[in-house]
Amino acid sequence: MGDIMESEIFTDTIFTGKEIREAIRLSHQRSKKYNISPHMRDPKQVKLSPDELQQRQAANRELLAVVVTYIEEFYEQLSPDDFIIAFVDRDGYILNLYGSKELQALFAEGNCAPSYRWTEEDVGTTAISLCLYLQKPVILNSTDHYCKQAHIFTSSAAPIFGPKKELQGVFVVSGNADLIHPHTLVMVSSVAGMFEKHMRVLRRTNEMSFYIGFLDSMIEAAGTG
C-alpha cells in the first residue's frame, strides 16, 4: 500500500476540507515521482487479459453479486446517463463498470474500463487510486485529478472492507465535474457500508448452513449406529 503510514495524520472516516487538500497534494507528489503523464493516459497501462479478468471476477463473484443487487436502487437516486458506477478489486483492477453506453465509451477513452489497473503507479491521482492508497472515502473534482484527461470529471470512492478489516475493493461513482455534490460521497460511503453488512449476512448464513449440515450428518450417523 505504499507509504500508508501517511494516512495516520487523517483521523476521521471522511476527510475535512483541509485534510483532503493535503492528501491530494501528497498524491500529486507521488504521481510526479512515478513519472505519470499529466496530459494523457499511458497506452501501455497495466491491463488484464480477458481470461485474467474473468478469473478475478470469479474470485470476487460474491461481492460483485451484492454490488449488482444495489445498482438499480442506486440509479434511482442518480442517473446512468450522467454517472458511471464501478467496482475495483483490492489490487486496483476495475472488474465491473455500469452506466450508459455513451458514458462508458467516454470513460474508456481514458482507460477507465474493466481490466485496467488504477493504482497511483498506473494513473496518478484519482479517486480510485487515492482511496486504495489511504483506504478511506475520497471525493475528487476537476484539477484534483493528476491527469488532464480526468479534469472534466468528478469522482467519489469508498473502500469496502472484509471481516478482519482487510480491504476487499473500492466502490466508485463518477460523472461530469459540473455534477459534483458533497452528498455523493456520503451516499457512496453508505452504500459501501451496506455491501459490507450484506456480505456479513451471507457469511453467517453459509456458516449456519455448514453447521446444520454437519449436525444432520452426526444425527444420521448416530441413528445408523
| The three grid cell numbers given for residue 50, joined into one nine-digit string | 480477458
Let me know how long the chain is.
225
**Residue 72 pLDDT:** 79
Residue 69: partners with Cβ closer than 8 Å, 6 or more residues away = 198
159-151-146-192 Cα dihedral, nearest 10 degrees: 0
**Residue 221 pLDDT:** 54
**Residue 6 pLDDT:** 47
Residue 191: partners with Cβ closer than 8 Å, 6 or more residues away = 70, 74, 158, 171
C-alpha dist (Å) from residue 56 to 117, 158, 220, 223: 12, 20, 39, 44
CB–CB of 152/143 below 8 Å? no
| The three grid cell numbers given for residue 126, joined into one nine-digit string | 484519482
d(CA 18, CA 41): 28
pLDDT in tens, the chain (225 residues): 444 344 443 434 677 788 999 999 999 999 999 999 999 999 999 999 999 999 999 999 999 999 888 887 788 788 889 999 999 999 999 999 999 999 999 999 999 999 999 999 999 999 999 999 999 999 999 999 999 999 999 999 999 999 889 999 999 999 999 998 878 899 999 999 999 988 888 666 655 554 454 445 545 555 554
**Residue 74 pLDDT:** 82
